[in-house]
A and B are shown apart, each in its own frame.
Chain A
Amino acid sequence: MKEDQYLELDFTDIITDPQLSRRELVKLLGSGIIILFFFGDRSLLEARRRGRGYPDDFNAYLRIGEDGRVTCFTGKIEMGQGVVTSLAQMLADEIDVALESVDMVMGDTTLCPWDMGTFGSMTTRFFGPALRAAAAEARAVLLELAAEHLKTPKDRLQAKEGIIFDKTEEKSRVTYAQLAKGKKITRRVKAKSTLKTPSEFNIIGKPVLRRDALEKVTGKAEFAGDVKLPGMLYAGILRPPAHGAKLKSVDTSAVEKMVDVRLVRDGDMIAVLSKTPDEAKNALTKIKAEFDVPQATVDDKSIFEHLVKSAPRSNVVDRGGNIETGEKLADITIAETYLNSYVAHAAIETHTALAKVEDDKVTVWASTQGPFRVKDQVAGALELSSENVRVITPFVGGGFGGKTSAPQAVEAARLAKAVGKPVQVAWSRSEEFFYDTFRPAAVVKIKSGITKTGEIVLWDYGVYFAGSRGSQHFYNIPHHRTATLGEWMGGSSGAHPFGTGAWRAPANNTNTFARESQIDIMASRAKIDPVEFRLKNLTDKRMRRVLETAAKKFGWSPSKSPSGRGFGVACGIDSGTYVAHIAEVEVDKKTGHVQVKRVVCTQDMGLVINPQGAKIQMEGCITMGLGYALTEEIHFNGGKIFDKQFSTYQIPRFSWVPKIETVLVKADDISAQGGGEPAIICMGGVIANAIYDATGARLLQLPMIPERLKEAMTKRNQYSILMT
């Protein structure tokens, strides 16, 4: 799984110690029928490597309770992506109960076994099949029990909606609740279970509305900031003006005089605590602090040159043929450099946590994509054994990769310990922008070549600091090399001036923008229609199919670009899913403003669990992708971040949203692939190509703000004058 280097999170800060044993876990669960199961060996290997006492043969389980309800316990979390619905669908279908009889318990580190976190479009892909196998196992156990109970051979029995009956005599029946009553059976899924085939599905593959909608439309859905505890305090924490700044002097006397406000100094943290969050934030402004800010050496303009200079040796991730031969074969050679800026996650819910410390027990409610990671970090910070820490994950108000790190939870726990009362830390919007783990700024250099007849014969690709996901092309190119240079996570010391990390489909937005722009440039130089040019150089059946389907849906009529129509195409692969996008844009040539009018997106994601949920994720990806394509960019000087509010950092709004048409191509023979990220990867490329088609101006840098577009149009005009 080369594309999932995303998995390789840095866990070096984690301490090791014994964990909840299986015996304790089963005791906690009470009675009923319990099926322990296991998915993805990497996560458990990771746990084992760290010498954990975690059960190493399962990392999730389900229970059929005495009331007949089926509950799935998993460390995965719900942040809007809809797995609270799609996982329940898989479980209900395979175990044969109504969807309404399924409960999901997610992201509670005491009730759920260890899980590495929710990211990388992995929940459906890897957790899904294991969950289905466990449900099939549960159904087998229930059938055995029913055979005994009804004194009927198993092959005469049928399960439907939580009832098992004799096919020859339907009155002879028993419910799952009756079978679970008074039982205490624990099984583990071992052998590969027989799963239903698509023709046997009742619930999988059917569009289902979100199961959490009622709570969310009534304001009852609880997020980390909504949890209340008696005597709790709210924190405001003193922050530096820039990354790398050191506190020189501080005067807290004004705060010390305030009634109802408590000042806490815990190591390098200076915080004020109050009974209301607004008073805490107000008190914070009364602290006079001076910082030494290091001399800035790089800003948002010089960053690209800096990255190329800071790059270590290249790491070739894919190669074939011989680059020199490719160069000789090429009639036209094109070398371009693509740039993209730092981009923020900007979830509407900021990082929030509430911590309670009692004796040596800590409970933390956190908005996080990685509750078990938070558990270990909190234990480490408080020098406690990790078994004393419980992390509960309420609904998460958007993650997009930005909540894989949760330093706010550690801050809340430290403060709660210091004052002996529950403490909430909720980052302000400016803290959120400042401490974000941004999508890294990156550079891609491509040299490619085509023959006179439009065959691609050369592809020499190097990506700096974005990461490798999506860097490998899927075209037929005999002589090619793909290399990655530099790290993309954790701020990569010496390269990025602040933290960087995973941002929805990490690396792939950058790589797909560069690749699909370069392909378009070649199509244009070969004077071939860009869809035709791609198909001419493609044999991958899945890719051809999504591309052809998109062209048909859009009503594509071939024309070489620029045609003046403002049509663009791009395609890519992410998390095992194939996507193709076609967009129509309108460019205001005076202002440089781009309005995306229409986007058609086709997707092959293998077996589709919830077509409704899958399409919603595609729409979300297309809408969110407008932002990094057109406006989103962090301005900075050294460690100082200038964009700290939605006034200057513009995320997509209602008026930006094009007509969106999504198509899921049927591919039931392929197991379910990722759905939360793939459809965002083409948005930079498809808009860049559509802008070129509209104007003849090629943009090589994201985001494609009006100034850059106007500059590119001016250059293009000068170029035309020179040519005529």
Chain B
Amino acid sequence: MENVSFKLNGKPINLTVDCERMLLWVLRTDLGLTGTKYGCGAGLCGACTVVVDNKAIRSCRFPVKGVEGKEVLTIEGLVKNGKLHPIQQAFAKHDALQCGFCTPGMILNAYSLLLRNSEPTKAEIVQGMEDNLCRCGAHTRIIEAIQSAAKEMKGVG
């Protein structure tokens, strides 16, 4: 057991935990943040995507020691002052989800994508989202939602 200190959804946190454990299980089980999902456990589907220091990572393959001193953003931290993030709004407005299980990972992957590239082309969105899997087939609308969120976020400045 070791101490790990990091920022989780904007708040400092200090955990005493086995540092080799994967972040996914610490988030879901120890911290009760169940918006982050298990899909494959091998970093292949993206359901467990969270953002660490502005970069999307696969929390099922990311040991918790890796977040020491960093900022972690999960789906629960995306709502600010009771207001949905523009990407969340766009996903709802475009019906960019069906069963909703891959949705938190999709949104956070898109969040990190738009941080890197605020005006992505459609091809860049496709490339950036390629390794996040959706079985219901909401892909077309997810792309539209990300394009619309990008515009919205630019407008906001």
**Residue A561 lies at the interface, judged by CB distance under 8 Å to chain B:** no
User: CA–CA, A476 to B92, complex, Å?
Assistant: 46
The residues of B that contact A81 with a CB separation of less than 8 Å are: 98
Interface segment out of the listed A49-57, A298-306, A535-543, A643-651: A643-651
The residues of B that contact A657 with a CB separation of less than 8 Å are: 139-140, 143
Of all chain A residues, the one with the shortest Cβ separation from B29 is A276
**Residue B155 lies at the interface, judged by CB distance under 8 Å to chain A:** no
Which residue of A228, A234, A619 is within 8 Å of B137 (Cβ)?
Answer: A619
**Residue A621 lies at the interface, judged by CB distance under 8 Å to chain B:** yes
Of all chain B residues, the one with the shortest Cβ separation from A613 is B95
CB A166 to nearest CB in B, in angstroms, measures 40
The answer on a CB contact under 8 Å between A278 and B134 is no
Interface segment out of the listed A127-135, A189-197, A246-254, A345-353: A345-353
**Residue B76 lies at the interface, judged by CB distance under 8 Å to chain A:** yes
The residues of A that contact B129 with a CB separation of less than 8 Å are: 654
Which residue of A220, A347, A660 is within 8 Å of B135 (Cβ)?
Answer: A347
Tell me the A222-260 residues at the B interface (CB within 8 Å): 222-223, 225-226, 228, 234
Interface of chain B: mostly helix, strand, loop or mixed: loop
Answer whether A647 and B42 are a contact pair too, CB < 8 Å, given A80-B136, A654-B139. Answer: yes
CB A209 to nearest CB in B, in angstroms, measures 6
User: CA–CA, A81 to B133, complex, Å?
Assistant: 17
Interface string of A204-229 (1 = CB under 8 A from B): 00000110111111111111011010
Interface string of B118-132 (1 = CB under 8 A from A): 000000011101111
Interface segment out of the listed A284-292, A376-384, A390-398: A390-398
The answer on a CB contact under 8 Å between A219 and B36 is yes
The residues of B that contact A217 with a CB separation of less than 8 Å are: 84, 88-89, 91-92, 97, 103, 107
The residues of A that contact B141 with a CB separation of less than 8 Å are: 616, 619
The residues of A that contact B140 with a CB separation of less than 8 Å are: 619, 623, 657, 660
The residues of B that contact A396 with a CB separation of less than 8 Å are: 99
Answer whether A645 and B44 are a contact pair too, CB < 8 Å, given A218-B88, A220-B35, A623-B139. Answer: yes
User: CA–CA, A217 to B139, complex, Å?
Assistant: 15
Which residue of B99, B130, B131 is within 8 Å of A80 (Cβ)?
Answer: B99
The residues of A that contact B38 with a CB separation of less than 8 Å are: 225, 277, 350, 426
User: CA–CA, A428 to B60, complex, Å?
Assistant: 12
User: CA–CA, A222 to B35, complex, Å?
Assistant: 8
Answer whether A428 and B41 are a contact pair too, CB < 8 Å, given A219-B76, A653-B133. Answer: yes
Tell me the A611-669 residues at the B interface (CB within 8 Å): 612, 616, 619-624, 645-647, 651-655, 657, 660
The answer on a CB contact under 8 Å between A218 and B100 is no
The residues of A that contact B99 with a CB separation of less than 8 Å are: 79-80, 347-349, 395-399
Which residue of B21, B32, B41, B134 is within 8 Å of A348 (Cβ)?
Answer: B134
Which residue of B36, B88, B100, B126 is within 8 Å of A655 (Cβ)?
Answer: B126
Residues of A at under 8 Å CB distance from B?
Answer: 79-82, 209-210, 212-223, 225-226, 228, 234, 275-278, 346-350, 395-400, 426, 428-429, 612, 616, 619-624, 645-647, 651-655, 657, 660
Residues of B at under 8 Å CB distance from A?
Answer: 21-22, 25, 28-30, 32-42, 44-45, 47, 74-76, 78-79, 84, 88-89, 91-93, 95, 97-104, 107, 125-127, 129-143
